[in-house]
Amino acid sequence: MHRRWLLSALALLMSIFLAACTTATTQQPSTKITNPTETTNTNSQQLSKGSAKRVVALSSLSADIISRLDQTKIVGITGSKLFKDDSKFKDIPRVSEGQSPPNLEKVVALKPDLVIGAEGFSNIPIQKLQQLGIPTLLTKVNNWESLEELTKKLAVLINADPQPLLNRYKTFLPEKPTQGFSTLALVSRQPILAPNKNSWAGDLLAKFQAKNIAADLQGKSPVGGYVTLSAEKVLEANPEVIILVNPPQGNSEAGLLDSLKKEAFWQQLQATKNNRVYVFDYYGLVNPGSIDAIEKACQQLKQALFVKQGT
């Protein structure tokens, strides 16, 4: 069961963080928002201020941002579990479900003047839509600054004011920096996989002044922004706080924790001894997912990192 979870987790991580086998060795983390209509296809219209009035979003984060900037501009979204109980998206057509590719016929039928995809995941459908002359935008959010820049970019395209949303983002972060605890975030057991500073999770930890043990490590992990660690390395670092991440599919909070409890080194760690092990959802910490997911992750980080040792 753990192997099955790992394979699904790695597959989703790789698709979102530009780590597909064919490109993992050449792509580098960046805050740049790429507009493929400018770089790979000359047939699509150039995007300009206020040009987008019918937007289809192939990523949950872009769909959420657009809907918060101007609900009337979003006409199609990806079928994400994050929106299952969200009334804002109740009547908006789904063009995909889960990790399935989007149905391009459904996308075209919505007559969009902009389709937004996630770089590394939506590249193929975006290229096909370009060939049909539909304006497209590929985005990548792997740090806080790129989240803000994406919000500003989308606001320009749909002629909306980004400031209220940007102001809300600021409320998620700690007001006063504090001396952080040594921290290790883990997303899998075999291999032991942790985010470095070139990932959304790593950057978020830095925003909360956590001393991320894996921040400056580099390795041969197949997942961009993540490194593999040995049990010896974890024991040597001996973090004060450990954050475990739920698998992207599944509802069990105990899975990874129960698995790690079987490791000989686990009970020797000070985080374990001091009961400073916290379980987070995949959305918000590993994959930004949505604004609410980000806010929840930030609230959890405040609780995990700003509490005194032993309390």
Q: Which among 28-32, 176-180, 193-197 has the top mean pLDDT? A: 193-197
Are 306 and 209 in contact, with CB atoms under 8 Å apart?
A: no
What does pTM read for this prediction? 0.83
Q: Please check the confidence at residue 239 and state whether its pLDDT lies above 90.
A: yes
What are the sequence ranges of the domains in the chain?
23-172, 175-305
- Say how far apart CA 242 and CA 183 lie, in whole Å: 6
The architecture that CATH gives domain 23-172 is: 3-Layer(aba) Sandwich (3.40)
Q: Please check the confidence at residue 22 and state whether its pLDDT lies above 80.
A: no
Q: Give the count of alpha carbons within 13 A of 103, CB side only.
A: 13
Share of the chain above pLDDT 90, in %: 60
Please indicate whether the domains covering 23-172 and 175-305 agree at the CATH topology level: yes
Show the tokens assigned to 206: 């830095």
pLDDT confidence band for 116 (50 / 70 / 90)? very high
48-88, pLDDT tens digit by residue? 787 899 999 999 999 999 999 999 999 999 988 899 888 88
pLDDT given at position 249:
67
DSSP 73: G
CA angle 136, 139, 144 (to 5 degrees): 150
Q: Which amino acid is at 11?
A: A
pLDDT confidence band for 177 (50 / 70 / 90)? low
Q: Please check the confidence at residue 168 and state whether its pLDDT lies above 90.
A: yes
CATH number of 175-305: 3.40.50.1980
What number is the average pLDDT over the span 245-251? 71
Mean pLDDT of the chain: 82
CA angle 140, 284, 233 (to 5 degrees): 90
Q: In what order do the strands lie in the sheet with 277-280?
A: 211-212, 182-186, 241-245, 277-280
- Say how far apart CA 288 and CA 196 lie, in whole Å: 16
Q: State the first-to-last Cα distance of the chain, in angstroms, to the nearest integer.
A: 35
Q: Please check the confidence at residue 8 and state whether its pLDDT lies above 60.
A: no
What number is the average pLDDT over the span 201-218? 94
CA angle 262, 266, 269 (to 5 degrees): 170
Crossing angle between the packed helical segments 144-158 and 163-172, to the nearest 10 degrees:
160
pLDDT given at position 248:
75
**Residues 6+ away with beta carbon under 8 Å from 100:** none
